């Protein structure tokens, strides 16, 4: 198993009503794709472009398993997770540098 940077992340929309969970090896580029590239996607449909939570992994297998775990959770449990590290639901996009 090779060591790299992988991220499991949760996005929301401006009103914080929708949650989207994903996994990537390049979080900055992935945020850009969600907002500007993908035309017919869940994130585009519901305007989920705001990063509210992420976790870092060095092994893709662990990241994928964590993403699957979070996706199985109900909304209440996801909210509890977000609020453990981001209780005010601040948009964290500014922490991630935009590749473009």
Of 93, 75, 90, nearest to 35 by C-alpha is 93
* pTM for the predicted model, two decimal places: 0.91
Domains of the chain: 6-95 (3.40.1440.10)
C-alpha 58/C-alpha 43 separation (Å) is 26
For 15-59, where are the alpha helices, taking DSSP H only? 27-32, 42-46
pLDDT (tens digit per residue) in 15-58: 999 999 999 999 999 999 988 888 888 998 999 999 999 999 99
pLDDT (tens digit per residue) in 62-98: 999 999 999 999 999 999 999 999 999 999 998 886 5
Structure-model confidence comparison of residues 86 and 1, the more confident one? 86
């Amino acid at each position: 198993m090779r060591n790299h940077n992988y991220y499991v992340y949760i996005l929301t929309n401006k009103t914080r009503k929708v949650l989207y969970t994903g996994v990537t090896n390049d979080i900055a580029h992935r945020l850009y794709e969600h907002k500007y590239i993908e035309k017919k996607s869940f994130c585009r449909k519901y305007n989920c472009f705001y990063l509210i939570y992420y976790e870092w992994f060095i092994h893709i297998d662990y990241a994928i398993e964590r993403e699957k775990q979070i996706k199985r959770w109900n909304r209440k449990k996801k909210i509890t997770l977000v609020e453990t590290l981001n209780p005010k639901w601040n948009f964290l996009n500014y922490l991630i540098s935009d590749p473009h």
